[in-house]
Structure 1
Amino acid sequence: MLTIGQLAKHAGVSTKAIRVYHAKGLLPEPDRDASGYRRYDAQAIIDLTQVVTLAQAGVPLARIRDVLDADTDQATEQIDRIDAELRAHIRRLQQRRTRLRHFDRPDRLCLPPEAIEFMDRLRGIGLSERHEHAIRDGFILGYALAADLTRTILPSRTALLGDDEYVAVLRGYDDAIDWSPDDPRLDELADAATRLALRMTMVSDLPGFDRVPSETIDLLTGHLGIDSPAWERLDQLITRRLTTATQVRNTNTTG
């Protein structure tokens, strides 16, 4: 007759684990002897060994009793089902390991493959680190708040990385981060950005835009992590130019 500590030692588990098995009905709990201790017999060693073997093989505790109580055919079916679940779980873990080995920076784990491809190509442009981080954080926020819209936008943005005018505007913004909002060079940069915007597909024209809350749009179109008075001035200049261009276009259309 064994104490719970001796039984645990034989099975290679803790006494806490045995108490858990008792609570879940996986191992019969013996009566106490005259001294108030529970004593376990040889059958307890056999029963505990079966439970521990199944648990270590990956069978969930909630399903061990079903496996132990099943006949041969039912037990085989149960094990096959659990084996398939384990293999699926292993595949998911292997995919995670592959991603961890592939990415050189943990923050990129927050982005899907297509956004990572964009960031890899963007890095070749030579923007400042804080500008790159703002763009990256914009995509992270985009996928969190409006994933469908962000997926729709991304292919066109990726294609623009091969557009000299777009790259020039990106570099212009990068240079202008620390400029004074009164810097005369902002007018020239605003002209270039306006010309670019007029030939690009506007975000507001994309499918699903009208279903995105306005506060989400405000977040997605902001300059994350960069406090630049020059950029704020640029936004004002570009908005004014786009409004004028739209009015002229509408006048020409109706005329």
Structure 2
Amino acid sequence: MLTIGQLAAYAGVTVRAVRHYHQIGLLPEPERDASGYRKYGAPAVVSLIKIRTLAEAGVPLGRIARMLDADGTAFAEAVERIDAHLRAEIDRLENSRKQVAQLAAGDSLVLPPPVVAYLDRLREIGASERMLAGERDGWILIAARWPGKVAEWIPDKFAQLEDPRIVRLYQVLSALMETKGLDDPLVLEAVDLLVELAEEAEAAGFDSGVAEGDDMFFALLDNLADESDDRAWRLRELMRERGWDGWTRMRRVTGQA
């Protein structure tokens, strides 16, 4: 006859687990001997091993009690259901593993291939990783809002990079993100470039092709840019002084020309 500690050791569980199983009625408590100690026989070891095995397989304790009381046929059916559940869980975990593995690929997890190619091109022209992180987040929002438009817009984005001013703008903004001061001469250079490009687009009658009702979404994209770096507010302040405001869709400040 075994003590509770010996029983636990034979079954590969803790004494605390045995006591818990007693408490919830999963494992019957044995009679105590003359000294007041519990003494367990071989049936208790077998029952405890079954309980441990089912619990480790993920069977809820409430179901284990019913399975232990079931006849052979009912027990086999319950095991088949558990096996089916485990197979489904394995499939789910395998899918999760694939998604986690895709994280190593970075942008390709959440962005369509044309955008990934565009981000790679920005990296080639000297955009910093912080700048790329902001661009990536912006495209995540855009792809979610206008999934059918991304493939249409990306060629224009590539074409814009043929303009040395836009390449320089990415380089300047990237460099600013690595500084701490607000008086860096690059701040004024960035504003000059932004205003020049905005005025040129206005003169050409540029139309983004996006409905006016999406003002709230553009405000969201602008907020993303504002939050990306401490110098963003200073750049916007200087642009307003020059009559312009906004990041993703620059507009004339009311009353200025």
TM-score, structure 1 as length reference: 0.70
Contact 1:21 1:27 in 2 (8 A): yes
Q: Which residue of 1 aligns with 2:170?
A: 174
Taking the aligned partners of 1:197 and 1:36, their CA distance within structure 2 comes to: 94
Alignment of 1:223 onto 2:223: no
Which structure is higher in RCO with an 8 Å CA cutoff and minimum separation 6?
1
Tell me the CA shift for residue 200 of structure 1.
1.9
Tell me the CA shift for residue 48 of structure 1.
0.9
TM-score, structure 2 as length reference: 0.69
Alignment of 1:156 onto 2:161: no
Q: Which residue of 1 aligns with 2:183?
A: none
Tell me the CA shift for residue 98 of structure 1.
2.0
Contact 2:108 2:116 in 1 (8 A): no
Alignment of 1:76 onto 2:65: no
2:120 is matched with which residue: 118, 123, 140?
123
Tell me the CA shift for residue 28 of structure 1.
0.9
Tell me the CA shift for residue 44 of structure 1.
0.7
Tell me the CA shift for residue 194 of structure 1.
5.3
Contact 1:194 1:241 in 2 (8 A): no
Are the structure 2 counterparts of residues 185 and 46 from structure 1 closer, same or farther at C-alpha, using a change threshold of 3 Å?
Answer: closer
Are the structure 2 counterparts of residues 62 and 203 from structure 1 closer, same or farther at C-alpha, using a change threshold of 3 Å?
Answer: farther
Runs of 4+ in 1 over 6 A off after TM superposition: none
Alignment of 1:94-133 (within 5 A): 94-104=94-104, 108=106, 113-115=109-111, 117=113, 118-119=115-116, 121-126=118-123, 127-133=127-133
Contact 1:153 1:203 in 2 (8 A): no
Q: Which residue of 2 aligns with 1:63?
A: 63
- Structure 1 unaligned segments of length 5 or more: list them: 143-148, 245-255
- Structure 2 unaligned segments of length 5 or more: list them: 177-185
Q: Which residue of 2 aligns with 1:24?
A: 24
What is the aligned residue count? 229
- Which structure shows the bigger proportion of residues in helix conformation? 1
Contact 2:111 2:143 in 1 (8 A): no
Are the structure 2 counterparts of residues 136 and 222 from structure 1 closer, same or farther at C-alpha, using a change threshold of 3 Å?
Answer: same
Are the structure 2 counterparts of residues 234 and 243 from structure 1 closer, same or farther at C-alpha, using a change threshold of 3 Å?
Answer: closer
Are the structure 2 counterparts of residues 119 and 89 from structure 1 closer, same or farther at C-alpha, using a change threshold of 3 Å?
Answer: same
Moved more, 183-192 or 76-85: 183-192
CA RMSD after TM alignment: 3.8
Are the structure 2 counterparts of residues 63 and 124 from structure 1 closer, same or farther at C-alpha, using a change threshold of 3 Å?
Answer: farther
Taking the aligned partners of 1:187 and 1:22, their CA distance within structure 2 comes to: 77
Contact 2:138 2:221 in 1 (8 A): no
Contact 2:3 2:39 in 1 (8 A): yes
Aligned partner letter, 2:209? T
Are the structure 2 counterparts of residues 232 and 96 from structure 1 closer, same or farther at C-alpha, using a change threshold of 3 Å?
Answer: farther
Taking the aligned partners of 1:115 and 1:135, their CA distance within structure 2 comes to: 11
